[in-house]
Structure 1
Amino acid sequence: MTTTSRAELSIIAPLTNDYQQILTESACALLVELTREFRPRLKQLLAERQIVQQRYDAGELPDFLAETANIRQTDWQVAAIPEDLRDRRVEITGPVDRKMIINALNADVKVFMADFEDSQAPSWQGLMQGQINLRDANLGTISYTDENSGKHYALNPDPALLVARVRGMHLWEKHLVVDGEPVPGSIVDFALYFLHNYQTRTANGSGVYYYVPKLQTHQEAKWWDDLFRYTEQKFNQDIGCIRTTVLIETLPAVFEMDEILYMLKDHIVALNCGRWDYIFSYIKTLKNHADRVLPDRQVVTMQQPFLNAYSRLLVRTCHKRGALAMGGMAALIPSKDQAENTKILAKVRADKELEAKNGHDGTWIAHPGLAATVNTVLDQYLTATKVNQLDVTREQDAPITAAELLEPCPGERTEEGMRTNIRVALQYIAAWISGKGCVPIYGLMEDAATAEISRTSIWQWIQHKKQLSNGQLITNQLFSTMLEQESKVVRQEVGEALWAEQSFTQAQQLLLDITTCDQLVDFLTLPAYELLSQSNG
């Protein structure tokens, strides 16, 4: 692999003419500057995550922080929400694929979250092309012609508002190296998107808008605030030109929502219920707590008390501080079978009714075909003039306690549920290491979060010697046997060509390794990144 050096940034990847439009001299200089300024603190924050996790592993439970009680108990507000971010009743999410960006921006939604994180496998080509695609989308010049069908895609006159989700703080970009170490993926995504779009967006009377994922503490929120502020000042932009929505998708973060809002109060506009990652984090954070092992993924819905408490606390916290409270993802995909589709839309409707009733200002969908149904639900609570539910304060609610947020979740662990988990995780990992981060599997749009739930559930069942509802003890051997059996099922389902094309054999081995090891692997995307780079560059 050739290495190019530009402004002291080592680029260990092909640098095509198109990519050079993104990795310009000034872009490389910015990445170097921000990395030197913010990488040391980032590494320290990641080390602190491990120290806190060791306390949980030893028996401690997460709780509200005594030392920040003053922030929770005093009156303050976040900065006023920009006009174009006030109505977010339905948002669609997806990877930074060119055709998908156009279809999402043209969907009947208010916002499109273009995702460099859980629904985007971070191949070099995917990341560079993604930045090109978003630049073109902001310019309004993005188009795409399908080589097979000849169909042409272009933006409608009034597209949805574009927001970019960057990678989490734990992910690194190995193709870009500063002073002998990789650049944080979060800095890469943030800086390149800002540099190539801030002038276009501010000229249109908007700002540069982000989603920030997987925060665990308010100190991490402060790191992001400092990064935003530093960048705004460097480019002579007003404080607040950059605005962010933070996903509350880790269990530790739910206990620090006030503090996260406070640290980002000049830049934050909303918190979001990242429910799938939140379930994954519940498993991971409490992995040593035998009394809090989750049942089948299929029964861990927002109706469960610990998740409903999380939703209501998020609404109450946000609205008290003048921030929006975004709901979670409807991952279901519409079916061509009319009877089946009726059931799917009924499930989506019930889920969104619960969120709207709790006071959420908006919600997520993964497929444009759900937009009409979800708009109908939200339109019962919102109008052209009442564009959010900031008036729903939930101040009359009883305080939500740590015990409610940590409440064990009842339900069975079934053989069918375990086998489904295996098939979903196998297919997702195979797709991810082949460069696809967002995959329709069994009627659901799966991303990294749902695959994480699938594999960590089984790991935890094995560690705590749980039984399936049929009496079988869940062991490494049982998992290994089922993985072999379900791999054959998947192979038959996807066909020999796709099986070979998507490196299913590598995915099967990785799933076996990370599910049967003694120590839980923090994120499947970390070992999978090694395989992705081998096959996709």
Structure 2
Amino acid sequence: MSAVMAQPQQADLDVTAQTPGQADVLTPAALAFLTGLHTRFEPARQARLRARRERQAFFDAGGLPDFREDTRAIRAGDWKVAPLPKALLDRRVEITGPVDPKMVINALNSGAKVYMADFEDSTSPTWPNLIAGQRALHAAVRGTLEFTVSDTGKHYALRPFEEQAVLMVRPRGWHLDEKHVRVDGVPMSASLFDLGLFAFHNARELAALDRGPYFYLPKLQSMEEAQLWNDVLDHIERELRLPPGQIKVTVLIETLPAVFEMDEILHALRTRIAGLNCGRWDYVFSYLKTFRAHRDKVLPERAQVTMTQPFLKAYSELLIQTCHKRGAHAMGGMAAQIPISGDEAANDAALAKVRADKLREVTAGHDGTWVAHPALIPLAQQIFDERMPTPNQRHVLREDVWVTREDLIKPSLGTITRAGFEGNVEVCVRYLAAWLDGNGCVPIHWLMEDAATAEIARTQLWQWLHSDGLFLDDGTPVDFALLERAFLNLPTRLGDRSRIPGGSRINEAIGVLDRLTQADVLEDFLTLPAYARLD
């Protein structure tokens, strides 16, 4: 594997793990390139993470997010983002998933317009997973990726390039380290490792194909974080001798602070941004985390927090209005349902939920949507084809939308049922056990769960248990005795552990969740303490 040689760096980079094939991607030139990224941008990353902590302390003290006064001119200005490349004009159905070879082939062959190869919420970041993902994407870019299932002999290969989905890559967020790569003893940013290594090996090849490279950027909280990404991408383009603005990105609006800075985020990335995406599950998680100390902002159980709730409807419609005003795409959220085999009625009910959700999105003005399973692509495609005959809906300006701060932060009404409480415990334990076992995308009760949905479950449990005076709808107090009973009932709910992903690590996952919910302070991310247990 080859790419443009980076200039030698003085810093000392160490790779502290070994897995087959890593020498193919971690070449001396690639390591020098990564070292340069770390040296140049790690101080700025740490400054942004400090700013996050300071902002959360303000919220914990009773403060509320709001639109910024110092950026009023950006919001009022008459400007647009750069024109979009042809490959990104029509994104009506996108599929997301992890980066193992079989998934990469199936997703690129799926018939979706875009495949988001996900190093973040649907990939457990074991060292073998990360290296295998980089190798798989390298081969996919060159059209040579193949995979054979060892026990069945079934063979998977890519369709011709013209029939493949457009590839986009999502690196891990700014808050995560890559502990296996250290520069002068300091762990490297997982964001820079994932995106930098992929760009180093593939950017020039994708540019020659007029396919980017294109990225999804996760969990941004401010325009300054967007500006940091823009600086990184400018640097990568210079180092790899790409034209300015060659790299295009879509930003997930999946944190509550970011919804108040959508214009500013678009402006910071205006030469390269293709759109914003309603990362709905992480957005709910961020709402919970932001208001963890606000007793008046407690949400009901997850099943009741749907996109028709007023605060989520306001979020999605403001995103559409903001994007279309600036000439960018407004992407809809994830349909997490998967086909239910052996129960036609239940499967029909699940598909009806998907149909209603996608109809809501296209009617509101979204330019495309996400699905988690290939079987949902035809349904989503049909709905968008019927209601969106043009490649996108950027002409739908939604000038009727008027959203205030109160609209965005007012919680939804609802209840906490025993099934909802125990369901949160089960989803979090089962997902965490699978994640610790190397699987970051887990089907649970016919929903494809990833880190975002597990975070909702974990954060809701913490907030409910640390808010005095909460009761289930049947009058039972929400307290740690209720949590203990849920843990005791879990083996019955799970049945044969050998039949579920990560079954051998269920007890470990229960211990982690118990410690996190008992803690006086909410852990920012479930994956931070869990990451120490990987490999």
TM-score, normalization: structure 2? Answer: 0.96
Give deviations 1:174-196, integer Å, cap 9, x for gaps: 00000110000000001111011
Give the root-mean-square deviation of aligned CA atoms: 1.4
Instruction: Give the alignment partner of residue 121 of structure 2, picking from 74, 99, 118.
Output: 118
Partner of 1:22: 25
Instruction: Judge which range, 464-473 or 127-136, deviates more.
Output: 464-473
The structure-2 alpha-carbon separation of the partners of 1:407 and 1:501, relative to structure 1 and needing over 3 Å to count, comes to: closer
- 1:190 and 2:192 aligned: no
Q: What is the distance in 2 between the residues matched to 1:167 and 1:487?
A: 33
Q: 8 Å contact 1:433–1:502 — kept in the other structure?
A: no
Structure 1 unmatched runs, 5+: none
1:485 Cα offset (Å): 1.6
Give deviations 1:375-433, integer Å, cap 9, x for gaps: 111011223xx200000001133x21000001111011111100111111110000000
Q: What is the distance in 1 between the residues matched to 2:500 and 2:259?
A: 40
Instruction: Give the alignment partner of residue 391 of structure 1, picking from 395, 398, 410.
Output: 395
The structure-2 alpha-carbon separation of the partners of 1:135 and 1:510, relative to structure 1 and needing over 3 Å to count, comes to: same
1:489 Cα offset (Å): 2.3
- 1:327 and 2:307 aligned: no
The structure-2 alpha-carbon separation of the partners of 1:13 and 1:186, relative to structure 1 and needing over 3 Å to count, comes to: same
Q: What is the distance in 2 between the residues matched to 1:147 and 1:323?
A: 44
Letter in 2 for 1:524: L
Give deviations 1:446-478, integer Å, cap 9, x for gaps: 000000001111111111121111111111222
Q: What is the distance in 2 between the residues matched to 1:72 and 1:463?
A: 38
Paired residue secondary structure (1:272): strand
Letter in 2 for 1:11: V
Paired residue secondary structure (2:369): strand
Partner of 2:418: 415
Q: What is the distance in 1 between the residues matched to 2:142 and 2:71?
A: 43
Give deviations 1:57-103, integer Å, cap 9, x for gaps: 11111000011000000100111011000100000000001101111
- 1:151 and 2:154 aligned: yes
Q: 8 Å contact 2:97–2:117 — kept in the other structure?
A: yes
Give deviations 1:152-193, integer Å, cap 9, x for gaps: 001112111110000000000000000110000000001111
The structure-2 alpha-carbon separation of the partners of 1:22 and 1:500, relative to structure 1 and needing over 3 Å to count, comes to: closer
Partner of 1:216: 221
Q: How does 1:37-436 map to 2 (within 5 A)?
A: 37-157=40-160, 158-336=163-341, 337-383=343-389, 386-397=390-401, 399-436=402-439
Letter in 2 for 1:462: L
Q: What is the distance in 2 between the residues matched to 1:278 and 1:40?
A: 27
Structure 2 unmatched runs, 5+: 1-8
Paired residue secondary structure (2:79): coil
Q: What is the distance in 2 between the residues matched to 1:219 and 1:500?
A: 38
Q: What is the distance in 2 between the residues matched to 1:15 and 1:302?
A: 42
Q: 8 Å contact 1:89–1:387 — kept in the other structure?
A: yes
Letter in 2 for 1:85: L
Q: What is the distance in 1 between the residues matched to 2:499 and 2:133?
A: 27
Q: What is the distance in 1 between the residues matched to 2:524 and 2:225?
A: 18
Paired residue secondary structure (2:14): strand
Paired residue secondary structure (1:380): helix
Q: 8 Å contact 1:7–1:25 — kept in the other structure?
A: no
Letter in 1 for 2:40: E
Partner of 1:517: 519
Partner of 2:3: none
Paired residue secondary structure (1:183): strand
Partner of 2:5: none
Q: What is the distance in 1 between the residues matched to 2:273 and 2:491?
A: 44
Equivalences, count: 523
